[in-house]
A and B are shown apart, each in its own frame.
Chain A
Amino acid sequence: MSNTDKTVVRLVGITKRFPGVLANDHVNLDLYPGEIHALLGENGAGKSTLMKILYGFYRADSGKIYVHGQEVQIRSPLDARKLGIGMVFQGFALIPALTVAENVALFMARLPRVLRPHNLHRVVEEASQRYGLELDPNAPVWQLSVGEQQKVELLKLLLAQARILIFDEPTKVLVPHEVEALFRVFAELRADGYSLIFITHKLREALACADRITVMRQGRVVGTVRPAEATEETLVNMMFGEHLAEVSRPPHGRNPGEPVLELRHVHAPRQGIAPALEDLNLVVREGEIVGVAGVSGNGQRELGDVILGLLRIAKGRKIFRGEDATRWPPRKLIRAGIAFIPEDPLGMAVVPWFSVLENFALLDPSRFSLWMGLRLSWARVRDSLQRGFARLELTPPPPYARAATLSGGNLQRLVLGRELSRPYHLVVGLYPTRGLDVRSANAVRQALLCAKEEGKGVLLISEDLQELFSLCDRLVVMLRGRIVGEFRPEETNVTEIGRVMTGTGVVHA
């Protein structure tokens, strides 16, 4: 490399093979000073692997890494940090019991033996103000929201003198307004000459804030483009190499049928930091999709829990298909026909070290039991799984694979197949597409539309307004544990809903 090389980082011919997978196949990537570089691709395209190689977490099988024009060997994250490379992972590495300042101090290159809290606080405060992070150095980390914890991670890197910052799906855990704030921070950092790489599979984010976008597919770089030269469609084509079927929305105007679920003046007590539910009224009818919009943490999860019978209703009534289900336990509701598709299937829907088959059998296992439950018929489970997935036109995951080894999309497919292959009347989706790549998210949306077509009731709790607008027949907005507005998507727009969500809009009941 010549010394006139302007790149901060140059990856040349990086190849990395894992058992059975070629994760990176001769990947080249350049990063310039003062650049925000988006690394775009489906789940499993090799983005994270590439960045973990740069951060010294993995070693490449072959290929070269140049930092500031010099070829370097990065054997560990420590090597990477010495070169001024820092990475913010999806799961953070913070100590909850310590304060922001203490967490930051722990990461500093030269931590004095005796800490001077005043100095430390001043340093933390200055840096946090400079980049608009707005962190209180005294706050214990366990009190912070996920978005704030991410800021602490960033602050750690900045104070450890990192100039090359890698973010692994930084927006996955954030709510929309936090995403905007993060992108403002990105812009500030760029202005100060930092170089940033962020991994994402959201097109709009890449287009909105990156200077250049590198698209990866199946371990290879498909191309690098500037946002001005690209559209969502061209990027989608680069990511998938084919025209992806858009979710087709059947026309409105069909009459929904009988109510499947009714909540009448439902109150539920407050749970930790979540708000109490107050006077909720909601009807979901056969053959319609009702959307619940809102900034997360305004009682949506609790609404789901109330419907599923996990959270006790203090006042009011819940009617399921004409029967008073206010006090029904979850199992009775599930048997009566409620399907539930949560976010984070590994945490909320499956047992990680159970096989696909065992996880499939877990939903209402009485279907497969013989001799009063003393025996399970695995043949019947296998049969039910195959037929269920075939009917839904989904490919079943390998039956003996452990759930923990499945990719996010495969896992959500397992949950979809399990929940919807059984007779049911209502589907509750609780952020069902969160964290999924475009293809998997579309599979979930398509399944919800199918459910509606078959005359089931669908309740979709989501934060993705585009998703809600494209799927829902009716839309309600939740704010601080109440339903503050009901809309028809064709009579409103994103801006209006956004204002109602944040409590600044005019509410028509």
Chain B
Amino acid sequence: MPKPNIIRFWHGLLRLLVTVVVILGIFGLFLWLMGRDPIKSYRDTFRLNLLNPRGLAEVVVRMSPLLLTALGVAIPFRAGLINVGAEGQFMMGALLGTWVALNLPGLSQSLHLLLVILAGMLGGAVWGAIPGALGWANETITTLLLNYLAPLVVGYFVFGPWRAPELAMYPQTPEFPPSARFPMFFPGTRMHLGFFLGLFFLLAYGYLISRSRWGLELRAVGGNPEAARRLGIPVERWIVGAMVLGGALAGLAGIAEVAAIHGRLKMAISPGYGFMGFLVNWLAFANPIGILIMSFLVAFIASSGFTLQLTQRLPYAAVNVLMALILFTVLAKPFAKGVRR
């Protein structure tokens, strides 16, 4: 947009802070009801995840897939589509990327890695293209349903043809060859290439959506498809295109997680990164800076879940309560303000 409205920005930030305080208050109450000390819990959480460099690095590691899945939701969102399917696209990206990682040995590191990344993006793109191409069916429903299908497809390969022979009791593929592993940064942490890819795509998104001709057309499709059609913008093509791009980024998140963190494909590669990405996008309303802040926030909350598990012996499910609280607060927002985009 040509003229940023600085007042609206600060207003939004203030509203965000209030939201955070309200959520922390309610969750504190929940902790207290569970018989834990909320003040100490929060202090531990902050100390271990924000003030400790290793802890902070872990938050950033969790943030990497969130940046990408949130973008995977944000791009279709700008075209007026609700993509609930980032989780499935994440899984399919991991699947196709794994195929390339395991079946193209003997390539140089950079070429193999590039092909793995592209295959991951292709897997997610295909999974996103399906709902996009089914123009007559509601994309919210189709993307949601495809989330249930993706783990079944991954399961078929992981339990079946791709199962590693050496560790036959675990349903998982053999380990990736070194040439297919993501490079790691900052020894002692698990920071990997995926984070920088996430940042790169976030920057590209922020620039293209507001400054490029393609961003303008995409937003017009979301803003008024009838007018867009009459202005000669190929609306149907943009809808498929937005889903393909979104799916590709969610798929990239999937293969990054596998090729950097796990080193092999298995069923438990995502603690719900696709759904968290959806949450991030709704918190950020597809605003690039918002996506950066919110994916950090959600990653921090997810890490806190593990901290609380260790320090307070809270079940990890307690964090799901927190996530749900956030989701409710966010979903309530448009109704409180009168629906407006």
Interface check B114, CB cutoff 8 A: no
**Segment 184-223 of B: residues with Cβ below 8 Å from A:** 208, 211-214, 216-217, 219-220, 223
A332–B231 Cα distance when bound, in Å, is 11
Instruction: Give A367's nearest chain B residue, CB to CB.
Output: B213
Instruction: Give A370's nearest chain B residue, CB to CB.
Output: B213
A358 touches B1 (CB 8 A): yes
**Segment 215-243 of B: residues with Cβ below 8 Å from A:** 216-217, 219-220, 223-224, 226-234
| Residue from the list B2, B226, B229 in contact with A355, Cβ < 8 A | B2
Interface check A349, CB cutoff 8 A: yes
A383 to chain B, nearest CB (A): 14
Interface check A333, CB cutoff 8 A: yes
B230 touches A348 (CB 8 A): yes
B213 touches A368 (CB 8 A): yes
Interface check A353, CB cutoff 8 A: yes
* Neighbouring A residues of B3 by C-beta, 8 Å: 355, 400
Interface check B337, CB cutoff 8 A: no
A410 to chain B, nearest CB (A): 16
Interface check B341, CB cutoff 8 A: yes
B211 to chain A, nearest CB (A): 6
Interface size class of A (residues with CB under 8 A): 35 or more
B204 to chain A, nearest CB (A): 10
A350–B1 Cα distance when bound, in Å, is 16
* Neighbouring B residues of A342 by C-beta, 8 Å: 230
Q: Which of A349, A351, A352, A378 has the most CB of B within 10 A?
A: A351
* Given known A-B contacts A348-B226, A349-B227, A373-B212, A354 and B234 have beta carbons under 8 A apart: no
* Neighbouring A residues of B212 by C-beta, 8 Å: 369, 373-376
B217 touches A350 (CB 8 A): no
Instruction: Give B341's nearest chain A residue, CB to CB.
Output: A353
| Residue from the list A308, A352, A365 in contact with B230, Cβ < 8 A | A308
B330 to chain A, nearest CB (A): 20
* Neighbouring B residues of A333 by C-beta, 8 Å: 232
* Neighbouring B residues of A414 by C-beta, 8 Å: none
A352–B234 Cα distance when bound, in Å, is 19
A399–B112 Cα distance when bound, in Å, is 50
A331 touches B224 (CB 8 A): no
B232 touches A334 (CB 8 A): yes
| Residue from the list A310, A353, A357, A374 in contact with B229, Cβ < 8 A | A310
* Neighbouring B residues of A351 by C-beta, 8 Å: 219-220, 223-224, 227-228
* Neighbouring A residues of B213 by C-beta, 8 Å: 365-366, 368-369, 373-376
A362 touches B2 (CB 8 A): no
A350 touches B227 (CB 8 A): yes
* Given known A-B contacts A308-B230, A310-B229, A362 and B216 have beta carbons under 8 A apart: yes
A347 touches B226 (CB 8 A): yes
A364–B228 Cα distance when bound, in Å, is 11
A400 touches B2 (CB 8 A): yes
* Neighbouring A residues of B216 by C-beta, 8 Å: 358, 361-362, 365, 376
Instruction: Give A430's nearest chain B residue, CB to CB.
Output: B230
| Residue from the list A335, A347, A374 in contact with B224, Cβ < 8 A | A347
A450–B135 Cα distance when bound, in Å, is 42
Interface check A441, CB cutoff 8 A: no
* Given known A-B contacts A330-B230, A352-B224, A357-B2, A365 and B208 have beta carbons under 8 A apart: no
Instruction: Give A418's nearest chain B residue, CB to CB.
Output: B231
A378 touches B227 (CB 8 A): no
Instruction: Give A333's nearest chain B residue, CB to CB.
Output: B232
Residues 223-242 of A, flagged 1 when their CB comes within 8 A of B and 0 if not, give: 00000000000000000000
A418 to chain B, nearest CB (A): 9
Instruction: Give A351's nearest chain B residue, CB to CB.
Output: B223
* Neighbouring B residues of A355 by C-beta, 8 Å: 1-3
A334–B230 Cα distance when bound, in Å, is 9
* Neighbouring A residues of B208 by C-beta, 8 Å: 374
Q: Which of B213, B217, B230, B341 has the most CB of A within 10 A?
A: B213
* Given known A-B contacts A369-B213, A375-B211, A376-B212, A354 and B223 have beta carbons under 8 A apart: yes
A331–B341 Cα distance when bound, in Å, is 28
* Neighbouring B residues of A308 by C-beta, 8 Å: 230
A331 touches B234 (CB 8 A): yes
* Neighbouring A residues of B231 by C-beta, 8 Å: 330, 334, 349, 362-363
* Given known A-B contacts A365-B213, A365-B216, A349 and B230 have beta carbons under 8 A apart: yes
Residues 374-396 of A, flagged 1 when their CB comes within 8 A of B and 0 if not, give: 11101000000000000000000
B230 touches A362 (CB 8 A): no
A334–B220 Cα distance when bound, in Å, is 17
A400–B211 Cα distance when bound, in Å, is 15
* Neighbouring B residues of A365 by C-beta, 8 Å: 213, 216-217
* Neighbouring B residues of A375 by C-beta, 8 Å: 211-213
* Neighbouring A residues of B228 by C-beta, 8 Å: 351, 362
Interface check A329, CB cutoff 8 A: yes
| Residue from the list B227, B232, B341 in contact with A364, Cβ < 8 A | B232
Interface check A320, CB cutoff 8 A: no
* Neighbouring B residues of A349 by C-beta, 8 Å: 227, 230-231
| Residue from the list B2, B226, B227, B233 in contact with A331, Cβ < 8 A | B233
A361–B216 Cα distance when bound, in Å, is 9
The 15 sampled A-B contact pairs (Cβ below 8 Å) are A329-B234, A330-B230, A330-B231, A348-B227, A349-B231, A352-B224, A353-B223, A355-B3, A362-B220, A369-B212, A374-B212, A374-B214, A375-B213, A376-B211, A378-B2
10 closest A-B pairs by beta carbon, nearest first, are A331-B232, A351-B223, A373-B213, A330-B232, A369-B213, A334-B232, A351-B224, A365-B213, A374-B212, A400-B3
Please name 9 further chain A to chain B contacts, defined as beta carbons within 8 Å, in addition to the given A353-B341, A362-B231, A368-B213, sorted by A numbering.
A330-B232, A335-B232, A349-B227, A349-B230, A350-B227, A354-B223, A362-B228, A369-B213, A373-B213
